[in-house]
Amino acid sequence: MSENLKEMNLKADGIVCTGCAGDMETLLLEKEGIEDATVSFIDDIIQVKYNPDIIDRKHVYMAVRKLGFPVKIVSEK
């Protein structure tokens, strides 16, 4: 993993099970530049670590949106 990874945490509405969360993680990890993705269906939080040299924050956000859940960014590092 790259040392200059950035992290984005998003709040999603409607993640109802671990299966959905696992599927979301798999789909996000298929996106070039996304190095790690963790989805908590209990908290409705999606944590994404990405390489900004490959993918920018807008495209990370859009990749999460395309999963079909309304989301908002709650923090970035």
Domain 6-76, CATH 3.30.70.100 — does that match? yes
In the beta sheet, which residues pair with residue 73?
Answer: 10
- What are the tokens at 37? 């993705």
Q: Give me the chain's average pLDDT, please.
A: 92
The per-type count for the chain, helices as H runs and strands as E runs, is 2, 4
Q: How many CB atoms lie within 10 A of CB 75?
A: 11
pLDDT above 70 for 2? no
Per residue in 26-49, pLDDT tens?
999 999 999 999 999 899 999 999
Q: How many residues does the chain have?
A: 77
Could you state, in order of their start, the residue ranges of all structural domains in the chain? 6-76
* Token output for 62: 């859009």
Q: What contacts 37, CB < 8 A, 6 or more positions away?
A: 24, 25, 28, 29, 46, 47, 48, 49
